């Protein structure tokens, strides 16, 4: 069993992590990421309050796929007692499949932070620390927190908060180098990741603008972070994990996927969603548009995929896209 003392070795062996993404990181997305080398993948964030009401849709977010050995779970909320109770619930539901419980302290979405959840916790370090303390006392699994640079634009509170959370019992911290008010604007400031790393002795996971093997290496070199977490670059692109794994191992970069390989993956993604839960096929809409990015004829393909409703529709449209790619001689181009 892991302890706070042995956790740094676990992180060192799990340096490539897929971030939690609400509406995106379902079991299928996580399976594809792991097939390409992601060491750990997070579920979509889960409302502690929703879980405490035994809300079925909230519990569905904790469903684990048949190929998954372990997952990270992220809770959001602001009541230490509810978070502690729900951390216990998550341990009961997932058992050995649960790798870590993370507390969301970074979500900038209005409907989350105006209720005091997500990034609002960065404005109240005492409460943030009490939440981590309550969760870490409640469960034996690692408890981590994911934060931004600060809440207000140009205000950097992450290093101080990191120290508080380390003292409160956090096992590791993830830092996204933007403030909440910045949302996703501008470039992530990796300097704050380095400053948090200097401020604490627990592992620090760097996040923000890692898009390939080279940027992952650069982040580790520039910040000293122990692992990298990738979000947007994984959308329609599970191969980013193979690229990052190779770069961190000092191995040559794998070939980027050829257009036909990408579209075959989109087909498989649709089938996996359908097999998991026929209703989950609606999630293929945005996935399909991500897979199309950069393909020849992307906008026509995207339009056709957008009109798909059934799995047969997807098969027909993808057959047509493949025929088109072969007709223009793009099947092997990388
Ligand atoms: C669609 C989407 C959903 C997200 N959902 C979550 C979430 O549930 N929890 C969280 O901590 N961060 C969430 N994030 C933020 C990412 O985890 C990550 O911190 C941010 O995108 C920066 O990383 P990137 O540059 O690799 O995308 C989300 C981001 C996106 C784009």
CA distance 84 to 178: 28
Determine the distance separating the centroid of ligand 1 and the alpha carbon of 210, expressed in angstroms: 12
Q: Which residue's alpha carbon is nearest to atom 14 within ligand 1?
A: 21
pLDDT tens-digit readout, 21-37:
999 999 999 999 999 99
CA distance 63 to 57: 10
Determine the distance separating the centroid of ligand 1 and the alpha carbon of 21, expressed in angstroms: 5
Q: Is the CB of 108 under 6 A from ligand 1?
A: no
Location of structure tokens 């293929």: 284
Determine the distance separating the centroid of ligand 1 and the alpha carbon of 109, expressed in angstroms: 11
Q: Is the CB of 286 under 6 A from ligand 1?
A: no
CA distance 179 to 157: 9
**Residue 334: predicted pLDDT:** 60
146: β partners: 104, 174
Candidates 313, 331, 186, 244; CA nearest to 17 is 244
**Per-residue pLDDT for 19 more than 90?**
yes
CB atoms within 10 A of CB 70: 16
What does the domain layout of the chain look like in residue ranges?
7-249, 259-327
pLDDT tens-digit readout, 162-197:
999 999 999 999 999 999 999 999 999 999 999 999
Helix (H) or strand (E) holding 40: strand 40-41
**Per-residue pLDDT for 329 more than 90?**
no
CA distance 290 to 238: 11
State yes or no: is 292 an active-site residue.
no
7-249 belongs to which homologous superfamily? Aldolase class I (3.20.20.70)
The dihedrals phi and psi of 48, each to the nearest 5 degrees, come to: -65, -40
Looking from the CA of 250 toward its CB, the CA atoms found within 13 Å total 0
pLDDT tens-digit readout, 247-286:
999 999 998 999 999 999 999 999 999 999 999 999 999 9
Helix (H, G, I), strand (E, B) or coil at 216: helix
pLDDT tens-digit readout, 298-317:
899 999 999 999 999 999 99
**Residue 223: predicted pLDDT:** 98
* DSSP result, 240-298: HHHHHHHHHHTPPPPPPPPHHHHHHHHHHHHHHHHHH-GGGGGGHHHHHHHHHTTSTTH
**Per-residue pLDDT for 219 more than 70?**
yes
Mean pLDDT of the chain: 96
């Amino acid at each position: 069993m892991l302890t706070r003392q042995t956790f740094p070795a676990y992180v060192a062996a799990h340096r490539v992590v897929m971030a939690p993404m609400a509406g995106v990181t379902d079991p299928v997305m996580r399976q594809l990421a792991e097939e390409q080398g992601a060491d750990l993948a997070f579920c979509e964030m889960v409302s502690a309050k929703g879980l405490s009401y035994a809300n079925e849709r909230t519990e569905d977010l904790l469903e684990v796929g048949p190929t998954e050995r372990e997952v990270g779970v992220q809770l959001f909320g602001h009541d230490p007692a509810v978070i502690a109770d729900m951390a216990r619930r998550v341990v009961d539901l997932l058992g050995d499949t649960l790798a870590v419980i993370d507390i969301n302290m970074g979500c900038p979405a209005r409907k989350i932070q105006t209720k005091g959840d997500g990034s609002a916790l960065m404005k109240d370090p005492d409460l943030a620390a009490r939440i981590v303390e309550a969760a870490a006392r409640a469960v034996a699994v690692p408890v981590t927190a994911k934060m931004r640079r600060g809440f207000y634009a140009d205000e950097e509170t992450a290093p101080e908060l990191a120290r508080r959370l380390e003292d409160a019992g956090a096992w590791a911290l993830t830092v996204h180098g933007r403030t909440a008010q910045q949302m996703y604007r501008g470039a992530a400031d990796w300097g704050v990741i380095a400053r948090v790393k200097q401020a604490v002795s627990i592992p620090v996971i760097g996040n923000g603008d890692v898009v390939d093997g080279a940027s992952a290496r650069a982040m580790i070199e520039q910040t000293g972070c122990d692992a990298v977490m990738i979000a947007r670059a994984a959308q329609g692109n599970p191969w980013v994990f193979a690229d990052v794994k190779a770069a961190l191992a000092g191995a040559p970069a794998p070939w980027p996927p050829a257009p036909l390989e990408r579209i075959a993956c989109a087909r498989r993604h649709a089938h996996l969603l359908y097999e998991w839960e026929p209703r989950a096929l609606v999630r293929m809409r945005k996935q399909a548009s991500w897979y199309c990015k950069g393909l020849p004829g992307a906008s026509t393909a995207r339009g056709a995929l957008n009109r798909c409703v059934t799995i047969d529709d997807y098969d027909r449209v993808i057959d047509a896209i493949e025929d088109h790619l072969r007709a223009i001689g793009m099947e092997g181009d990388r």
